Chain A
Amino acid sequence: MPHTQDKSSAFAQGLLIFVYLAALTALEYFIAVTFKGVPILALVAVVKAALVMYYYMHIYKLNEDGGSDHHSYAYKTVTNRIGLWLFLLSDAFVFGGLMTARINLLGLTHPHLNQTLGLAVTAVLLISSFFMNRGETAMAHGDKKGFFVNTLITFFLGLGFLLGVVAVEWPLAAAEGLTPDSGVAGAVFYMMTGMHAFHVFTGLIFLLVVLNNARKGVYSAERHWGVEAAAVYWHFVDLVWIFFYPALYLIGKAL
């Protein structure tokens, strides 16, 4: 698919990628309830991550050079983009470390959790990424109202995910005896979801900041680095969940 496109085909592309991601998530769930093939689950997660990184996070934009004037907005945006991606790379090592701890401590088992709820919050986060993509695309084409509506939907979906994990999933798990100090499964579960929820929380603040600045008219089709950064960060949070969801809910036997 081409990178530069008019507004309607950009929206269509976002929708198509969303459909792919949703189908792959359904496939993951199907694998988990049938034959539990860990390598295939890992492969599907990698494919999903690649789709998100390319079509939602636009990793190929790192190749741009922004012209030769070091003081221009375009040049600085490319520098900022490199900075943001370096930060995400660094942050990925935290989640990688948590994943290592999970594999080392739990192996081919996973905590006993509410599968329906897990799939539901995953779907909510995935849909939020779809709307985030629409919001960013709208801003890139100068459609401020479209940006506002879509980003607001993203915010509320993100809030739904956060509350779904922290205010619903945690008490439910605790009620079934899975508490932070109950054992290593509880420790891993609360640490992984907690660290991810903290990132969702910061992402929500970031979205509020961007929404507020958009309301003040800070961004335009040519100058909206803040919007792009918020969107890429939001997709990164989704990307992490692409790996955390199977790791916590799908891989191996329930304890």
Chain B
Amino acid sequence: MINPSPARGWLFFAVGLAAAYAAGMGLVYAVSGVLTYVHLVPILLATVVSATTMSWGASGFSPLTKGFLGLTLGGLLGYALGLVIDLLVQGLVDWAAPTASLFSLLIGFTAFFLGVAGLNAVSKGLIWQIIGTLTGAILVSLIRAAMGLEWSGTFLFTEPAWVTGAFLGVLFFLGGNGSVSDWFKWARGIDTPEHHEDAPGWQKYLSVSLDHKVIGIQYTVTALFLIGVGGLFALIFRAELAASQLQFLTNDVRLFGQTGPQLYNTFMSLHGMIMIISILLGIAGMINYAVPFLLGAQDMAFPRLNAFSFWIAVPASVLMLMSLILGGFDTGWTGYPPLSARAPVGMQMFFLGVFTAGWSSILGALNTIATVLRMRAKGMTAFRMPIFVWAAVATSIIALTATQLIGLSFQLVMFQRLLGMGFFDPAKGGNPVLFQHLFWFYSHPAVYVFILPGLGIISELIPVFARKPLFGYRWIAMSSLAIALVGFLVWAHHMFTSGMNEYLRVPFMYSTLLVAVPTGVKFFSWVATLWKGKIWTPTPMLFVLGGLVVFLLGGLSGPPNATVSTDLHLHDTYFIVGHFHDTIFGGFVFPFFAAIYYWFPKATGRRMSETLGKLHFWLMTPAFFVLTFGMMRIGLLGMRRRIADYDPALNFDFTHLILTVAGFLIALSVMIFIYNFFHSIKNGEKAEGNIWGSRSPEWQVPSPLPAHNYDQPFEVVGEPYDYGLPGAKYIEFVKPAKSGRK
């Protein structure tokens, strides 16, 4: 029990948990005189302290332990600092004031990364983001004070100050962490080497790397973190929904300047947008990691832009979390005015966060298209590219162009709030429906951004695990493009009940139904590929098959929403929620997990545990079916979406309870996955060869890949998916020329 060991870790975890919980309860009692065991202070304190002690017990004074210690101390320090500032500015101490929580979050996060690896790209960036936010906010506050305006508000600073600060914070993050330093050198006429040496070991993942594989993993891990945050929010409001009436997000709750029901709204809204950002980062992870080596390229076309696209997503995520603390917002993820024109400051942080994350998506898409156009290996013609690359291109076309429109629509609301510009204010001649058009012009095609890479993964992996050629390669490639292009013409099907011109309904209904055609092409191809194949089901294939079935359910529950007559009944019910989760789990979550299980050995040289992987699958899939079927059932019976409470007379209590249990089971399965992921990096079974028997070029060389992917270039000499055909070859490595440049 002296040396660090898992057993010692669990023991320390239990001790830390109990001690911190008791200390937290004592603290609450000392301050408020109420003895309660359901309180955020002991819960949060116990979480961070038990994580610290567990890590200490299991691994000694390791970087992770230092990180958790930093999180705990930084969080407490930030909280104290916030209280002092509040006392100085407002003249009173408010324990639940947002200022203290905000400083606690920002300083805690920063201290975590400082503890893990000292000054690195993340901790430097976060420090600079804090400095930038304060600089901007204080500057605007000073100007306001000099102009004789109110300079401080409920959330310490006024709204214009927060917006300026948040914007400067993002710029400072990027300037401070080194992701733009090469560009600044270029601007001053200084040349930089084409590639930089990465730090050795895991530390390169915390630095600005230009290697697309490192960036892909950075994206993926960030996406997993955000899935955790968004999932946590879902669990919180799912727990509230388990029974009718308000149980713990009650009106007496006061946190981050919000009451319980307001918190419900914020969690519900942020669950949506944080998950969307995590999906965007997840697909960027898959595309960044896989596309260059699938093409035989050394890297993406613009490695610095690639690093920039990732790093800009980090301050964006911080802004999303800030929106929770700065009063939250209650509009749902769509942020429709006029409600969003009135919501607290958190709304602005949400707008800025989405705007910033949008740039990550746009620039990543630009890079992907340029890479596919310019960086293919010799002989890799358009129809000999791996099919995932087609999906990546289709998704990038949407992300490159349409994303600007959500950025613009949110910007217009921002300016309406800041300067009184009346775009969506009918009193000034504005038109709220215009917002919905601009918003959905991105936000509908966005779901194709989410699912196309996932469908590409399904198409990519089915031939590997069915040992048969992919059926109808060209049709699948073209169907991805067709979904992307038709996707631009369907946005107003979200607005059948919004009061837009009625003559627009029918054309948008038909264009929406048209999406079923290319999607159907994909399904027929998958089924035809599986037919009479030698199907083999290790974990990646399980997730592919699961994704296929779940996406089919999502697809079949779509047309009732697209058809005007039925949508008028279904609009804003849980049926939509069930349909949407089916499409996103089938089109993104399942294939994303499949891709991680499939390429994990390529990245680490070890494979993830099959047992835990199968447990993950067989826990998540049934729970998920229960969840969405239940959602659709109560939706058909009239359960409205986005509400914190429902009438007990509707008799939904039991179904909601089941849904909550299913939600927690999914969370449990994802925790198993995350354990498996991090545990297998060091302890997984060695797997350096072509363990899946794939024909894809990256599996023809040992894992993990070196910094520039292939020591010798290859030439494409055959078709990519000729599994089971004797003598068929896809690529041939070219002998390196003796004095050739690498």
Q: Are B423 and A101 in contact (CB under 8 A)?
A: yes
Does A94 sit at the interface, judged by CB under 8 A? yes
A114 CB within 8 Å of chain B: no
Would B428 and A184 count as touching, CB distance under 8 A?
Answer: yes
Residues in B whose Cβ lies below 8 Å from that of A94: 404, 407-408
Q: Is the CB of B419 within 8 A of A181?
A: yes
Q: Looking at the complex, which of A36-44, A85-93, A133-141, A160-168 is the stretch in contact with chain B?
A: A85-93
Quick one: closest A residue to B368, CB to CB?
A: A86
Task: Tell whether, in the assembled complex, residue B422 and residue A183 are in contact, meaning their CB atoms are under 8 Å apart.
Answer: yes
Are the C-beta atoms of B405 and A97 separated by less than 8 Å? yes
Interface majority SS (helix, strand, loop, mixed), chain B: helix
- What residue of chain B has the Cβ atom nearest to residue A185's Cβ? B429
> Known: A82-B374, A187-B430. Contact between A90 and B404, CB under 8 A?
yes
User: Is the CB–CB distance between B421 and A180 below 8 Å?
Assistant: yes
In contact, B405 and A79 (Cβ under 8 angstroms) = no
CB distance from A71 to the nearest CB of B (A): 6
B549 at the interface (CB under 8 A from A): no
**Cα-based distance from A158 to B147 in the complex (angstroms):** 32
Q: Is the CB of A93 within 8 A of B302?
A: no
Q: Which of B188, B405, B419 contacts A180 (CB 8 A)?
A: B419
A3 proximal to B (CB < 8 A): no
- The residue of chain B having its C-beta at the shortest distance from the C-beta of A69 within the complex is B741
B273 an interface residue at 8 Å Cβ cutoff?
no
A100 to B305, CA, bound (A): 30
Q: Judge whether B421 and A86 touch: CB under 8 Å.
A: no
Evaluate contact between B370 and A83: CB separation under 8 angstroms.
yes
Q: Does B375 contact A (CB under 8 A)?
A: yes
Chain A nearest CB, measured from B398 CB (Å): 11
Contact B374 A86 (CB under 8 A): no
Complex Cα distance A75/B376, Å? 13
Residue A50, interface by CB 8 Å: no
The docked-state distance in angstroms from the alpha carbon of A98 to that of B434 is 11
B727 contacts partner chain A, Cβ-Cβ < 8 Å: no
A213 at the interface (CB under 8 A from B): yes
Q: Are B408 and A187 in contact (CB under 8 A)?
A: no
Q: Residues of A contacting B302 with CB < 8 Å?
A: 79, 83
Q: Are B373 and A82 in contact (CB under 8 A)?
A: yes
- B287 is an interface residue with CB less than 8 A from chain A: no
- B217: Cβ under 8 A from any A Cβ: no
| A residues near B408, Cβ cutoff 8 Å | 94, 97-98
Determine how close the nearest CB of chain B comes to the CB of A217; give it in whole angstroms. Answer: 8
8 Å CB contact of B438 from A83, A90, A101, A183: A101
Number of chain A residues whose Cβ lies closer than 8 Å to a Cβ of chain B = 37
Which residue of the partner chain B has the closest CB to A80? Answer: B302
- Check: A105 CB closer than 8 A to any chain B CB: yes
Q: Are A184 and B430 closer than 8 Å at their CB atoms?
A: yes
Could you say which residues of chain B place their CB within 8 Å of the CB of A187?
Answer: 415-416, 421-423, 428, 430
* Interface pair B301/A83, CB less than 8 Å apart: yes
Q: Per-residue 0/1 for B397-435: is the Cβ within 8 Å of any A Cβ (1 yes, 0 no)?
A: 000111111011100100110011111000011110010
* A183 to B429 alpha-carbon distance, docked (Å): 6
> In the assembled complex, which residues on chain A have CB atoms less than 8 Å from the CB atom of B403?
90
| CA of A181 to CA of B301, assembled, Å | 44
- B residues in contact with A191, CB < 8 Å: 412, 415, 421, 423
| Chain B, residue nearest A86 (CB) | B366
Q: Is B384 positioned at the interface, with any CB of A under 8 Å from its CB?
A: no
**A90 and B405 form a contact (CB under 8 A):** no
Partner of B301, one of A79, A104, A105, A218: A79
B280 at interface by CB-CB < 8 Å: no
Interface string of B223-248 (1 = CB under 8 A from A): 00000000000000000000000000
Contact B421 A82 (CB under 8 A): no
Cβ-closest chain A residue relative to B419: A180
Does B734 count as interface, using CB distance less than 8 angstroms?
A: no
| A202: Cβ under 8 A from any B Cβ | no
Q: With an 8 A cutoff between CB atoms, is B369 at the interface? A: yes
Q: Please measure, in the bound complex, the distance between the C-alpha atom of A106 and the C-alpha atom of B486, giving whole angstroms.
A: 29
Given A83-B370, A86-B369, A209-B187, the answer on whether A190 and B421 have CB atoms closer than 8 Å is yes
Query: Which listed residue, B187, B370, B402, B431, touches A82 by the CB 8 Å rule?
Result: B370
A90-B362 contact given A97-B438, A212-B189, CB 8 Å threshold: yes
Complex Cα spacing A59 to B270, Å: 42
Q: CB-nearest residue of chain B relative to A218?
A: B189
Question: Can you identify 24 A-B contacts, CB atoms within 8 angstroms?
Answer: A79-B301, A79-B302, A82-B374, A86-B400, A87-B366, A89-B401, A90-B400, A90-B401, A91-B404, A93-B402, A101-B434, A105-B423, A181-B419, A181-B420, A181-B421, A184-B422, A184-B423, A188-B423, A190-B421, A191-B421, A191-B423, A209-B187, A212-B188, A212-B189
Closest 7 CB pairs of A and B: A181-B420, A187-B421, A184-B429, A93-B404, A97-B408, A213-B189, A216-B189
Other A-B contacts than A79-B373, A90-B400, A187-B422, 6 sampled, CB-CB below 8 A, are A91-B404, A97-B404, A183-B429, A187-B415, A209-B187, A226-B186
